Amino acid sequence: MTLPSLPQSRFLSTAIPGPRSIALHAERVKQVTSGFGITLPVFIERAGGAILEDVDGNRIIDFASGIAVTSVGASNPRVQAQVEAQLERFSHTCFMVTEYDSFTAVCRWLNEHTPGDFEKRSALFSTGAEAVENAVKVARSATGRERVLVFDDAYHGRSLLTMAMTAKQNPYKLNFGPFPAEVIRAPFASPLRWPTGAENATAEALAAVEQILFDHGPETFAAMVVEPIQGEGGFIVPSPGFLPGLRELSTKYGIVLVLDEIQAGMGRTGALFASEHENIAGDITVTAKALAGGLPLSAITGRVELMNAVHAGGLGGTYAGNPLSCAAALGVFEAFEDGSLIENANRIESSARTILEPLKTSTAILADVRGRGAMLALEFADAGTLAPRADLAKKVAAEAHSQGLLVLVCGTFSNVVRLLPPLVIEETLLLDGLTVLRDAVLTVSLSEAHQPSSFSEAVAA
């Protein structure tokens, strides 16, 4: 059955959540563990483009993309066609048991498109965390070393090793230890919060990284794992030169540089991979999320000599590179082929900055508007002290939600509202969503008792 296409416009038929969502949520509470959080308790009936239609008939603008997954839209026709055709043929064989060519085709595309002018091989898995773990396995196997360097504010997943690699305690790590050893953390060159000022961030952070390598012995590190733009940690774009500096340090000490492009990759930042903005290539690049438009698929792509250093049978997984997920990825690659989605990411950034940047001076609650392409964020803090204001981010998100705009909060201090619209979002819908968000910030700002009329004015005072 083909459903009529979903109108790409916001529409509220009830308060959010509506009565049917409230009833379904009550049942969920009776059946589902309370260990899963929820951003917006509405139940979705169908979704398409950048609209989520709930069971009460509300059409909500999607600035979340299922956490950076549905970049090609929530029901992309190319993805649908590929998956339907695959489902008619077979749904699973296990690639370690018998082969299918779509697995190879996805690996070929990744080998050809991932940054790095060297011969590559890829491996497919299901989740992002699983791929990060496998990147570490490959790096350890290839180098014979154990340690893994990670960064402040990093997020790499919820499995035990990736929790160890993730920085934020609550909710990710609380009560879940002990964690695997040999994970060492170093500073990330975060411009807004660098203690001696943004202009010093790159040089001082790189010096600290090198010192930490020395403290433990650089020859003990198998991998250095970094997000080219940090995701859950607060959409932090490192200060220029930091990533190339890490590239140099890893080469100097024979450490495998693993770029975790799980959230920032696949066109999200206005380039196919975020590392392209700084002209660097990882020895291993990790992708997931938008790779398969909503079906579970993750990958590691790296230098042939690393990827083939692992003994036969050392990598795998029952569902690794499942045929339906591979088919979906082939649909995603088709959608990226003409370059328009990457252009869209840049268009989204330009429209968003036009509407949101003036809020930095017209309100006194916004410390930063940052990001690249369609990976953008607003950071809320007290003017003058930069003390993080999680309460303001929460209020802005709640206000946006009540108006039918889905946004997510992130950040080590939970004080960042992030924008991750599907790259297919139409301009009118984007502008509507941005206006709702701007108004939400203004409403929350008005309810604050701050005296200064702008953040910069308050900082100067």
Residue 321 binds ligand PLP (CB under 6 A): no
Closer residue to ligand PLP (CB): 410 or 434? 410
Pick from 6, 60, 83, 132: which binds ligand PLP (CB under 6 A)? 132
Contacting range for ligand PLP; rule: CB under 6 A; set: 121-129, 137-145, 195-203, 372-380: 121-129
Helix ranges, 302-449 (H): 304-307, 323-336, 340-356, 359-362, 390-402, 427-446
155 near ligand PLP, rule: CB under 6 A: yes
HEC profile for 364-376?
A: CCEEEEEEECCEE
Nearer to ligand PLP (CB atom), residue 156 or residue 277:
156
- In angstroms, the CA 27 to CA 43 distance is 12
Strands 44-48 and 375-380: unpaired
CB 393 within 8 A of CB 380: yes
The count of residues interacting with ligand PLP (CB under 6 A) is: 15
Q: How far is the CB of 269 from ligand PLP (least distance, A)?
A: 12
128 binds ligand PLP (CB under 6 A): yes
Nearest approach, Cβ of residue 21 and ligand PLP (Å): 24
Q: Work out whether 325 is an interface residue with ligand PLP (CB under 6 A).
A: no
Cβ proximity to ligand PLP: between 224 and 366 the closer is 224
Peptide bond into 358 cis (omega under 30): no
Residue number, 266 or 369, with CB nearest to ligand PLP: 266
Q: How far is the CB of 131 from ligand PLP (least distance, A)?
A: 8
CB of 149 vs ligand PLP, minimal distance in Å: 16
171 upstream amide cis, omega within 30 of 0: yes
Q: In angstroms, rounded to a whole number, what is the distance separating the alpha carbons of residues 444 and 436? A: 12
Q: Which is nearer to ligand PLP, 17 or 321 (CB)?
A: 321
For 270, residues 6+ apart whose C-beta sits below 8 A from its C-beta are 277, 342, 345, 346, 349, 372, 373, 374
Report the C-alpha gap between 110 and 166 in whole angstroms: 25
Q: Which residue has the tokens 């060297």?
A: 118
SS3 for 61?
Answer: strand
Least Å distance between CB 94 and ligand PLP? 20
- Cα-based distances in Å from 355 to 11, 102, 377, 389, 428: 22, 42, 13, 22, 13
Nearest approach in angstroms of CB 85 to ligand PLP is: 25
Residue 129 interacts with ligand PLP (CB under 6 A)?
yes
Dihedral angle, C-alpha 32, 36, 37, 43, nearest 10 °: -50
How many CA atoms lie less than 13 Å away from 168 in the CB half-sphere? 19
- The smaller minimum CB distance to ligand PLP, of residues 230 and 445, is found at 230
* Residue placing its CB nearer to ligand PLP in the complex, 6 or 110: 110
Q: Are 254 and 143 in contact (CB under 8 A)?
A: yes
- Which string of x and - marks every residue 275-314 that binds ligand PLP (by CB under 6 A)? -------------x--------------------------
Residue among 150 and 383 whose Cβ is closer to ligand PLP: 150
Beta pairing, strands 221-226 & 147-151: parallel
Helices within 42-192 (DSSP H only): 65-68, 77-89, 101-113, 128-143, 160-165
157 binds ligand PLP (CB under 6 A): yes
Interaction mask 194-233, ligand PLP, x per CB under 6 A: ---------------------------------x---xx-
Stretch of 79-87, 112-120, 141-149, 260-268 lying at the interface with ligand PLP (CB under 6 A): 260-268
Which residue minimizes CB distance to ligand PLP?
128
**Cα–Cα distance for residue pair 149/127, rounded to 1 Å:** 21
> Nearest distance from residue 261's CB to ligand PLP, in Å?
8
User: Do 196 and 204 contact (CB within 8 A), yes or no?
Assistant: yes
Gyration radius of the chain's alpha carbons: 22
Please, which residue, 263 or 285, has the CB nearer to ligand PLP? 263
Residues 64-103 that bind ligand PLP (CB under 6 A): 67
Cβ distance to ligand PLP smaller for residue 49 or 128: 128
- Nearest-approach distance from CB 157 to ligand PLP, in angstroms: 4
Which range of residues in 123-131, 133-141, 305-313, 331-339 is near ligand PLP by CB under 6 A?
123-131
Residue 106 interacts with ligand PLP (CB under 6 A)? no
* Cβ distance to ligand PLP smaller for residue 67 or 429: 67
SS3 content of the chain, % helix, strand, coil (to 5): 40, 15, 45
Q: What are the structure tokens assigned to 298, written together? A: 């993750």
**75: its two tokens:** 């029901």
Query: Judged by CB under 6 A, does residue 266 bind ligand PLP?
Result: no
Binding residues for ligand PLP, per CB under 6 A?
67, 127-129, 132, 155-157, 227, 231-232, 260, 262-263, 288
